[in-house]
Structure 1
Amino acid sequence: MTSTRQLQEDFRHIIVATHGNEAVFDYTRSFERADASSLIFIQASEQLDPIAPAVITTEAVAADIMGEYKGFIACVKDVRLAQALIKQAYDDYENRDPEWPDIHPSAVIHESATLGANVRIGPNVVIGKDVVIGDSVIVRSNSVIEFGVTIGNNSIVNPNVMVGHGCVIGQRVILQSGTVIGNEGYGFTPTPDKRYERIPHTGNVIIGDDVFIGSNCAIDRGTYGSTLIKRGVKVDNLCHIAHNVEIGEDCLIIGQTGLAGSCKIGDRAILSGQSGVLDHKKVAADTILVHRGGVIEDIPSGGMWGGIPAKPMREHTRRFKLDDYVLKRFAKLEEK
């Protein structure tokens, strides 16, 4: 149970005004499922359910509901941002692991590994030689942390994750289930008799602070050097990031996107679902690559790009208009 007094103290940096009587709540809920124990977030007065004891909203909406609502109102500038921060603090399974003892007896931890304070290690986890795990890290069931890995404070490794040898994971990183960090990349060279020889990958993966990696992603280690995922990157499920790729800060990489070896993605780029970038190509900072965009040449400047090959959005939509014109002309010819 959390009091609205505690809410004000914890989030005084985003709460700009309060109204109504003090209250308590047990959890957060959507406004459609509000009950007498919930904190809700609303962006319009029509979304209010007066059964909820506490509401997060804007000052404009607060002015509309104060006459009819007798509960506690906290006003913020950005309701969605407030929802993200407050749910992380009070109602986030990712930050809690109540099921097992701090170190499950079935975990296998090498005697040379270093574990920080308040670490939680789940069933059947394997932690290898010379691993360093920071404070308040959670490693959940069946995950494997190979030798020489470093994991920063407050990071979360969900079930069935593999972090390969020598990789570096920053602070407050979340690795979702089924993801593989630092496996060998796809590197083969042809022989004279048209067979293929594997090129061992002896680099690693470095993941910066505050990165989120979704489920069933593969991030390959560098052939030499590192594959780099910089601070604040958010990667959706089912993405492949090949050896020696560099992704700049605060990028969004959406589901089923594939980044080929040694390509470079600039800061704050957004790559929409099923996008692809060819090896060694560069995508400028602040680029938005729309769904299924294919980069086969460098993108030199930010903005919205689309199509295969990716072109600036105005040029990309012009192609659709031309295709439509051609189809209509063919239809008229067929009529004749």
Structure 2
Amino acid sequence: MTSYSISEINNILKGELIGDTDQTIIGPEEIQKANANQITFIGSKKYTKYWEDSKACAALVSKDVEILPGDNRVFIKVKNVDLAMAKVLELFTLMPPVFETEIHPTAVIHKTAKIGKGSKIGANCYLGKDVELGKNVVLYPNVCVFDETCIGDNTIVWSGTVIRERCIIGSNCIFHTNVSIGADGFGYRPSEDGQQLVKIPHIGNVIIGNSVEIGANSCVDRAKFSSTIIGDGCKIDNLVQIAHNSVMGRSCIMAGHSGLAGSVTLEDGVIIGGSASIKDHTTIHSGATICAGSGVIGDVEAGKTVLGYPAQDARDMLKQWATVRRIVKNK
């Protein structure tokens, strides 16, 4: 079992120690669930009320927390509790599943595929014609990578993921289970006789930058023509839909159940809250935030926060909701 002393943890965090403990830390846990050998965190003053009853011997606390730790307990004061906790979690991260062979004998690999040094391919994977894997790529069992797709160095692809033909994937990406990349976009038009729907072919591809993470069961559709693009550093939650010809800039965040319709543009640093939906051919400018559950039907200015359906300035929407509540209450 991995364990650390408080001093070893603080040497990594470079925080300020308040108090002392002789307990050894065997892992992190929530403040109300922790035991005497675990470290927890207090991110703001509102959580200090739980400390007295907590069994944790140590906590990461923000600079504005004023309570004392108590006997045989210790605080590590840090500037950013969330980032400090991320470092602690890294200390206790378990090893990933083991590959007994670098390329499992059940994998089906086209003779033209190129596999970089140190790459690992699990059971029942499929690599099509002219696929290229960079160095140290990991494909867990049951991954399909179709023809002419390129995957950059150190990218990890978890089981069930399908990457369609001609996609370009950057380095240091993580795709969780059952991600779909490069499926046909959703496009239909009524036939001339009005009796059926005609499928619009999608002949483009998907381009994904470096250090992109995509959550389980999310979908990134190929473009009608040209490319659907996800920029460097974007982080996408589970169950997210990114439609054909959408373009995401650098370091955008999309939370679960959110979706982009076709040809949406997100500039750098945009945040999309859970279950938010963005209308087609809409541009969300740099640094804007779309609050959870909102429906965006028009362009959003840089740095603006919008809320509601249809989405508008968050402060205006909150005022409207407050006014409606007062009217209803006074009836």
What range describes the TM-score normalised by the shorter chain of this pair? 0.7 to 0.9
Structure 1 residue 277: Cα displacement: 0.9
TM-score by length of 2: 0.82
Query: Secondary structure of the equivalent of 1:42?
Result: strand
- Does the 8 Å contact 1:41/1:79 carry over to 2? no
User: Could you tell me how far apart the structure 2 residues matched to 1:77 and 1:318 are?
Assistant: 34
Residues 63-83 of structure 1, C-alpha deviation per residue, up to 9 Å, x if partnerless? 9459624x9x87643232122
Q: Which residue of 1 aligns with 2:45?
A: none
Structure 1 residue 169: Cα displacement: 1.5
1:87 aligns with 2:89: yes
Q: Which residue of 2 aligns with 1:78?
A: 80
1:213 aligns with 2:214: yes
Q: How many residues align?
A: 320
Query: Secondary structure of the equivalent of 1:87?
Result: helix
Structure 1 residue 109: Cα displacement: 1.6
User: Could you tell me how far apart the structure 2 residues matched to 1:265 and 1:63 are?
Assistant: 43
Q: Which residue of 1 aligns with 2:183?
A: 183
- Does the 8 Å contact 1:203/1:222 carry over to 2? yes
Q: Which residue of 2 aligns with 1:334?
A: none
User: Which consecutive residues of structure 1, in runs of 5 or more, have no partner in the other structure?
Assistant: 332-336
Q: Which residue of 1 aligns with 2:72?
A: 68
Query: Secondary structure of the equivalent of 2:104?
Result: coil
1:285 aligns with 2:286: yes
Structure 1 residue 124: Cα displacement: 0.7
Q: 1:40-189 counterparts in 2 under 5 A?
A: 40-43=39-42, 46=52, 49=55, 64-65=68-69, 68-69=72-73, 76-88=78-90, 90-92=92-94, 96-98=96-98, 100-189=100-189
Letter in 2 for 1:141: P
- Does the 8 Å contact 2:248/2:267 carry over to 1? yes
Q: Pick which of 186-195 and 59-68 moved more.
A: 59-68
Query: Secondary structure of the equivalent of 1:274?
Result: coil
Q: Which residue of 1 aligns with 2:306?
A: 305
Q: Which residue of 2 aligns with 1:196?
A: 197
User: Could you tell me how far apart the structure 2 residues matched to 1:325 and 1:28 are?
Assistant: 45
Structure 1 residue 154: Cα displacement: 2.0
Letter in 2 for 1:79: V
TM-score by length of 1: 0.80
Q: Which residue of 2 aligns with 1:261?
A: 262
Structure 1 residue 164: Cα displacement: 1.0
Structure 1 residue 280: Cα displacement: 0.5
Letter in 2 for 1:123: A
User: Could you tell me how far apart the structure 2 residues matched to 1:245 and 1:178 are?
Assistant: 21
Structure 1 residue 57: Cα displacement: 5.6
- Does the 8 Å contact 2:133/2:151 carry over to 1? yes
Residues 258-311 of structure 1, C-alpha deviation per residue, up to 9 Å, x if partnerless? 211111112222211211111111112222212221111111342221122211
User: Could you tell me how far apart the structure 2 residues matched to 1:325 and 1:74 are?
Assistant: 45
Query: Secondary structure of the equivalent of 2:160?
Result: coil
How well do the aligned residues superpose, as a CA RMSD in angstroms? 3.3
User: Could you tell me how far apart the structure 1 residues matched to 2:3 and 2:120 are?
Assistant: 24
1:222 aligns with 2:241: no
User: Could you tell me how far apart the structure 2 residues matched to 1:211 and 1:47 are?
Assistant: 40
User: Could you tell me how far apart the structure 1 residues matched to 2:202 and 2:90 are?
Assistant: 37
Distance change >3 Å, CA 203–CA 190, structure 1 → 2: same
1:15 aligns with 2:14: yes
- Does the 8 Å contact 1:27/1:91 carry over to 2? no
User: Could you tell me how far apart the structure 2 residues matched to 1:173 and 1:79 are?
Assistant: 26
User: Could you tell me how far apart the structure 2 residues matched to 1:279 and 1:208 are?
Assistant: 22
Letter in 1 for 2:113: A
Distance change >3 Å, CA 82–CA 282, structure 1 → 2: same
Q: Pick which of 210-219 and 21-30 moved more.
A: 21-30
Structure 1 residue 136: Cα displacement: 2.3
User: Could you tell me how far apart the structure 1 residues matched to 2:25 and 2:94 are?
Assistant: 15
User: Which consecutive residues of structure 2, in runs of 5 or more, have no partner in the other structure?
Assistant: 43-47
Letter in 1 for 2:89: K
Letter in 1 for 2:172: R
- Does the 8 Å contact 1:18/1:75 carry over to 2? yes
Distance change >3 Å, CA 307–CA 35, structure 1 → 2: closer
User: Could you tell me how far apart the structure 1 residues matched to 2:3 and 2:321 are?
Assistant: 54
Letter in 2 for 1:83: M
